[in-house]
Amino acid sequence: MLDISVYKEAVMQSSSGIAIADMRADDFPLVFVNPAFERMTGYPASEAIGRNCRYLQHPEFNQPERTLLRQAIQLKQACTVRIKNFRKSGEMFWNQLQISPVFDSRHVLAYYIGVQTDISAQVRLEQLLLEEKHRLEAVNAELEVRAGRDSLTNLHNRRALDEKLEAYVATAKNSGISVNMFFIDVDFFKKYNDTYGHQAGDQALRLVADALQQLCQRPADFVARYGGEEMAFVSLGMSSSEIQNLAGSLCQKIRSLNIPHVHGVNGNLTISVGCASIFPAESGDQEALVTKSDQAVYRAKAAGRNRWFYSE
């Protein structure tokens, strides 16, 4: 068995700050700190010993990690947190603090040992990486907009839809034909995400998008992701019966995918579809068509979802 002096020397030479608090004394004062603790905090042992370690906290910072530490101490358990501490100079540093209880021979809590590691450089790196991730996401989003495609579903994006709809309205105004629009909303999609996770939600949107593209194959058919769980479809010159038949086929196609959804209609993932048409040569414009389609999908959802509504 190693001599006790070896253990003492290991603690004194440790690169991690080590502090011991007496849990039997009032206010749990520190009774030992090693040299690494002194270097990390800037407080010599003579100024640290006898004080509660909360002096390393800033009184204006109400960090939730402090609650975790208090709860662990009340339960006499070990705990690890990342917490903001302050050196004697006033400089803030990130401290990865691990506390562990020490019990005496009667199994009474006697001490808490705190092992401290300055992870300020690591946290700064994590913050830089997160900022870079957000920057790249913004760049990708901008590229996606310019490309006119939604990266998740590979459908056209909303900007491309708006441009296509504007062109269709102009064409229809000159030729006297109708412009047709379908709004497709995945029913109870937030609950689906909450239940099955965002990866499953993304996959469900891809499956719905693929199904829509399979059904919308006419030369003028244009399918897009409108935003979130909403997709849209525009076309030209469809008759009332064609619109209603396609709306019914869309709902049936998604039902036939048999995607389980415990909070969905009949236990499966379904969609609500709102359809509308305008004749720009007579009346109505792009904004009016979008409004009519949006109101139609609202009517379908209000009627129980898993259905379509056509606003003629």
Please check whether residue 165 is in contact with residue 250, taking contact to mean a CB–CB distance below 8 angstroms: no
* Under 8 Å between Cβ of 176 and 160: no
Strand order in the sheet with 308-311: 222-227, 230-236, 179-186, 271-278, 308-311
List CB contacts of 269: < 8 A, sequence separation 6 or more. Answer: 186, 187, 192, 204, 208, 254, 257, 259, 260, 261
In 3D space, the residue among 164, 150, 159 whose CA is nearest the CA of residue 286 turns out to be: 164
126 catalytic residue (yes or no): no
Catalytic residue among 47, 126, 229, 242: 229
Which tokens go with 72? 């662990």
Give how far the C-alpha of residue 261 lies from the chain's centroid of Cα atoms, to the nearest Å: 21
Task: Enumerate long-range contacts of 245-252, CB under 8 Å, 24 or more apart.
Answer: 246/182, 246/215, 246/216, 247/182, 247/273, 247/275, 247/308, 247/310, 248/308, 249/215, 250/182, 250/184, 250/211, 250/212, 250/215, 250/308, 251/306, 251/307, 251/308
Angle at 203 between CA 230 and CA 195, to 5 degrees: 85
Indicate which residues carry an active-site annotation. 229
